[in-house]
Chains A and B, each alone.
Chain A
């Protein structure tokens, strides 16, 4: 090993990476066979590894359970980082204020002496000092309005304080996020689009509404939404299929031709061959009864000018009215046929 000449020995050794580099070797001509090439490579590699091992095993070692432990020097070859350097957190608004005023941080104890019960209680949490629910009596002051619940007022004030604190915390985090120093476990997520002017905030659509809308959109297609691509987890529309049924354009004219049936039914309704089917007997009876009662009332009011006989002289006027319309029409149509 010591017989090597200067030019060959100058390997670049980086013990921190267990790396060795020989910049002086070259293949003047490629060896003929693969095996020879491999042998040559291994030979050179062995020399380099030996050089690293020389430096490595000569480092001061400490005995450990598994074997000698060696403290590696830091690597000399510089490689690029995988992530950016972490930026220090900017001081929060309170921290800046405290620095300006010279306020020192005081270490707080976990337990505090509670005068009321005479025990040591937690500063915050389950069974804590100065809890709102432990106050039995609040004395009224002159400035208090009657009708204001002081306990509720205290709770509201606390809520406001908490909200203000959260607002400040959010502002601090936003400031940190602006310069890219957000702590790793915190994420800021936008909840809604910005509200501009007098726009009302967009209403949240319920699940049922969305389902209905999807179903409505489906029926607007020619196939009734049967072949629409569904999202994973989407349920089929409630009212499946088309809501209107159109007759085919071209159809054979046989006994069962639908268009003929359709037109026939319409005409029958108009012509009223079976007019008694058209009449709504119940409705007619009711109308007659109502009219009758009205007449009776009028009669009572005007004190018997009209005798009962005159009522009898006007029988079944309503019925005639109904059929009256159809009568001349039917007769005309009948003649046409």
Chain B
């Protein structure tokens, strides 16, 4: 199949269509990365701001970007036409999400009515799925914490996440916020994890019915008697109070569709293995032809020794027989 663009004329169909395939291997690989998959890997986050931002909000956005360095995109220009909670104001967001392949976004804006506003949202198929609007209070940035720099968590490590409080179970908005925060802070879903590399934890505590205290800590593993080390949390990164303002849950139909998972299918086909009802699992082994004559013999082959031994024996026998003959003669 050629990879070039093709033009075709159609007699029967009215619209002339053209098949476009990438001429570059790099582009092809990039498209395959963005295609929908059965089992999904980590979501990328888009961090952007609105018409006006405050100093604290700028700090919050840049620190969230640092925390998610590997899988986040940061836009620094102001975007006037993004209003997530209005019906027409999401077009720009969806366009950015499509172009950067991000399905999580954090949008910061500051106004008198909603100071230090953060809208955290998720996308399904590059359309807005759900939104949570929080206000940031009592923000403490990374620089304001004093800690031993050696324990600082490394970029991209998988974090422990802890949610404390009955509010997360009872209050609707906090439940939604919990889900969204989990999605945001989780990182990639991995099968294997190196136990030496766990070094960060996020703690979210529900302080009141609409306030959550979020903090980022480094982990210190202390020796204890058992295999399990004793955990110690040291506050390292940003800490802030999140006040839930508004939220929008997804439509029921959309939610059902997004939560669908494929049943586990046998993903990897192991080659040369087949299973039979009667015989069980059968494997095929292909052996190349043995060229017995061409194989080089090692220096001290046992055969050589044996030959020598046998030669000696033969000689001895011959001598013995000769002697016998001589004697007989």
Contact = CB atoms under 8 A, between A and B. Distances in A.
A185 B31 contact: yes
A71 interface: yes
A303 interface: no
Contact of A67 (B195, B230, B235, B239): B195
A163 B129 CA distance: 44
Interface string B128-171: 01000000001000000000000000000011111111111100
Interface in B180-228: 182-183, 186, 189-198, 201, 203, 205-208, 213, 215, 217, 219, 227-228
B49 to A, nearest CB: 23
Nearest to A163: B8
A190 B17 contact: yes
- Name the prevailing secondary structure of the A interface residues: mixed
A45 B205 contact: yes
Given A21-B163, A72-B190, A79 B20 contact: no
B194 A69 contact: yes
B164 A22 contact: yes
A49 B20 contact: no
Given A45-B201, A49-B160, A85-B38, A56 B123 contact: no
Given A18-B161, A38-B235, A72-B193, A58 B228 contact: yes
Contact of A66 (B162, B197, B229): B197
Contact of A54 (B40, B138, B228): B228
Interface residues of B, number: 85
A71 B122 CA distance: 29
A195 B36 contact: no
A189 B158 CA distance: 42
Interface residues of A, number: 71
A17 B188 CA distance: 9
Interface string A11-22: 000001111111
B285 interface: no
A20 B162 contact: yes
Nearest to B27: A185
Given A41-B164, A58-B228, A188-B20, 20 more contacts: A19-B182, A20-B162, A22-B162, A22-B165, A45-B162, A45-B201, A48-B164, A53-B231, A57-B228, A66-B194, A69-B192, A69-B195, A80-B258, A82-B123, A84-B36, A84-B124, A167-B8, A167-B10, A173-B19, A188-B18
Interface of B: 1, 6-8, 10, 14-22, 28, 31-32, 34-38, 40, 43, 103, 122-125, 129, 138, 158-169, 178-179, 182-183, 186, 189-198, 201, 203, 205-208, 213, 215, 217, 219, 227-233, 235, 239, 250, 255, 257-262
16 contacts: A17-B186, A17-B189, A19-B160, A21-B163, A38-B239, A44-B164, A69-B192, A70-B195, A80-B124, A81-B40, A82-B103, A86-B38, A185-B21, A187-B19, A188-B19, A190-B18
